[in-house]
């Protein structure tokens, strides 16, 4: 069961809920239905209004669902009140993404990053585990064992967060050392960025002949991978595939993946991969661009790879047709010089992409003498 609201500066509500449904499917849930409510501001106590709670209750009593998923991050109070009112497990978008990340993380670094984000998410919500003890009241003699247990649990989670942060700091230092060595070698780095499921890993596999896991689901791959490739002039560069971005990406995840995302800082060039066939392609493009601004990467040189053109063009010859060129107008501020139409799946436009990468690296290279 998915529920959401509309607000200023957000995607169209139906599109956001469609993506939430995809996330739920990726996590293994079977979606029974979707419900929405238009509010200027969410209820501080329950996120949605009392009428919608009654509607959800009616659907639950009809045997419609056993979990309710909300398309925003809920406060601990909202989550607790909703679970009490609905009598089912309540998840928000952040918890759902964390669950998917936990399933997808394969390397030790990825697992550490996800575990840190999970514990940071859990800490303010521990009080809800002991809500039944609130009836004890205050005053001398009313301090129950549950309250002591809650404080113990909070301390244990805080200790775990500090331990994970120390371990990730070691990873960050190791990565920093590796990047310095890589920089000394003079080999430029090209990093793929983009919205989740835009085809980054497929493009990475096409360019490197690697076998990175690819699946038509959100966040199919999570751990970063780097391989050496040769450009058209036989110049060698390092190509890295990074974790995908998503609408309403939880800040805790961005913070937890800091060590991984710092790889983008030393990249000579970013290749922003976009699923040009997606109905929300322009919004996905802007979401990633906004995230790059948040990461202080707005001035980093980048190319835009408009991927999956095989879904709108019959063959590679049509890549320069008006049908495809009209799509470019959907992306604010993007010029034809900084964009390449391609199909990573079929290998269309790959040579053009490599030529543009080479030209971009050449123009960014410092003058000699």
Residue that has been written with the tokens 């990340």 in this structure: 101
Spell out the residues 6+ positions from residue 285 whose beta carbon is closer than 8 angstroms to its own: 195, 272, 274, 304, 331, 334
Tell me how far apart the alpha carbons of residues 274 and 286 are, in angstroms, rounded to a whole number: 10
Q: In this prediction, what percent of the chain has a pLDDT beyond 70?
A: 84
DSSP strands (E only) in the chain: 2-6, 34-38, 67-70, 89-92, 189-194, 225-230, 236-241, 269-275, 302-307, 339-341
Residue pLDDT, tens place only, 93-116: 999 998 888 887 777 888 888 899
Query: CA angle 179-292-333, nearest 5°?
Result: 125
Instruction: Please give the CATH topology (third level) of the domain spanning 2-101.
Output: Rossmann fold (3.40.50)
Query: What is the per-residue burial (b if ≥16 Cβ within 10 Å, else e) of 107-143?
Result: eebbebbbbbbbbbbbbeebbeeeeebeeeeeeeeee
φ/ψ (deg, to 5) at 134? -65, -25
Lowest pLDDT segment from 5-14, 57-66, 73-82, 358-367: 5-14
Q: Which residue has the higher pLDDT, 186 or 114?
A: 114
Local structure of 142: helix, strand or coil: coil
Query: CA angle 111-114-117, nearest 5°?
Result: 150
Mean of the per-residue pLDDT values of the chain: 82
Asked if residue 214 lies in contact with residue 241, where contact means CB atoms within 8 angstroms, the answer is no
- If you average pLDDT over residues 230-258, what whole number do you get? 83
Q: Per-residue pLDDT for 31 more than 80?
A: yes
Nearest to 114 by CA among 186, 167, 74, 38: 167
Concatenating the DSSP letter of every residue in 321-359 gives: SHHHHHHHTTSTT--GGGEEE-BTTTTBTHHHHHHHHHH
Q: Per-residue pLDDT for 42 more than 80?
A: yes
The domains spanning 2-101 and 187-364 adopt the same CATH topology: yes
Tell me how far apart the alpha carbons of residues 323 and 203 are, in angstroms, rounded to a whole number: 23
**Terminal Cα-to-Cα distance of the chain (whole angstroms):** 64
For the chain, the structural domain boundaries read 2-101, 105-127+144-185, 187-364
Lowest pLDDT segment from 70-79, 216-225, 269-278: 216-225
Q: Per-residue pLDDT for 8 more than 50?
A: no
Residue pLDDT, tens place only, 316-342: 776 666 667 777 888 888 888 889 999
Residue 230: pLDDT band (50, 70, 90) is: confident
C-alpha 3 chain-centroid distance: 20
Q: Which residue has the higher pLDDT, 226 or 314?
A: 226
Residue 214: pLDDT band (50, 70, 90) is: low
pLDDT in the model for residue 212: 57
Tell me how far apart the alpha carbons of residues 246 and 214 are, in angstroms, rounded to a whole number: 17
pLDDT in the model for residue 368: 39
Lowest pLDDT segment from 129-143, 177-191, 220-234: 129-143
Report CA Rg, the chain: 23
pLDDT in the model for residue 147: 55
Tell me how far apart the alpha carbons of residues 174 and 19 are, in angstroms, rounded to a whole number: 36
Residue 216: pLDDT band (50, 70, 90) is: low
Q: Residue 67 class from Cβ within 10 Å (0-12 exposed, 13-18 middle, 19+ buried)?
A: middle
**What class is the 187-364 domain?**
alpha beta
Spell out the residues 6+ positions from residue 157 whose beta carbon is closer than 8 angstroms to its own: 119, 122, 123, 126
pLDDT in the model for residue 352: 92
Lowest pLDDT segment from 6-20, 126-140, 150-164, 255-269: 126-140
pLDDT in the model for residue 270: 95
Lowest pLDDT segment from 14-28, 206-220, 264-278, 281-295: 206-220
Q: Per-residue pLDDT for 218 more than 90?
A: no
Q: Per-residue pLDDT for 347 more than 80?
A: yes
């Amino acid at each position: 069961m998915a529920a959401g609201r509309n607000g200023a500066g957000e995607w169209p509500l139906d599109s956001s809920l469609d993506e939430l449904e995809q996330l739920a499917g990726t996590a293994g849930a079977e979606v029974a239905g979707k419900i929405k409510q238009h509010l200027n501001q969410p209820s501080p106590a329950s996120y949605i209004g009392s009428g919608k709670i009654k509607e959800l209750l009616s659907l639950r009593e009809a045997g419609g669902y056993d979990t309710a998923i909300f398309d925003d991050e809920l406060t601990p109070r909202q989550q607790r009140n909703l679970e009490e009112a609905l009598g089912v497990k309540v998840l928000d978008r952040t918890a759902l993404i964390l669950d998917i990340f936990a399933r997808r993380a394969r390397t030790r670094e990825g697992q550490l990053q996800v575990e840190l984000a999970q514990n940071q998410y859990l800490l303010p919500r521990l009080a809800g585990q002991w809500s039944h003890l609130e009836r004890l009241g205050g005053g001398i003699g009313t301090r129950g064992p549950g309250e002591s247990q809650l404080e113990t649990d909070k301390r244990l989670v805080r200790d775990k967060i500090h331990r994970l942060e120390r371990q990730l700091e070691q990873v960050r230092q190791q990565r920093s050392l590796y990047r310095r060595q890589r920089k000394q070698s003079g080999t430029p780095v090209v990093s793929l960025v983009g919205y989740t499921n835009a085809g980054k890993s497929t493009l990475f596999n096409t360019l490197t002949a690697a076998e990175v896991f690819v699946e038509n689901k959100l966040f199919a791959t999570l751990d970063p991978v780097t391989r050496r490739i040769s450009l058209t002039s036989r110049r060698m560069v390092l190509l890295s595939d990074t974790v995908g971005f998503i609408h309403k990406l939880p800040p805790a995840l961005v913070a937890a993946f800091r060590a991984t995302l710092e790889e983008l800082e030393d990249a000579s060039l970013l290749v922003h991969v976009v699923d040009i066939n997606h109905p929300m392609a322009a919004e996905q493009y802007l979401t990633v661009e906004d995230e790059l601004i948040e990461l202080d990467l707005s001035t980093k040189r980048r190319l835009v790879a408009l991927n999956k053109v095989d879904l709108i063009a019959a063959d590679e010859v049509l890549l320069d047709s008006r049908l495809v060129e009209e799509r470019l107008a959907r992306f604010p501020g993007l010029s034809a010089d900084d964009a390449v139409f391609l199909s990573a799946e079929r290998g269309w436009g790959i040579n053009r992409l490599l030529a543009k990468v080479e030209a971009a690296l050449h123009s960014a290279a410092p003058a000699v003498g």
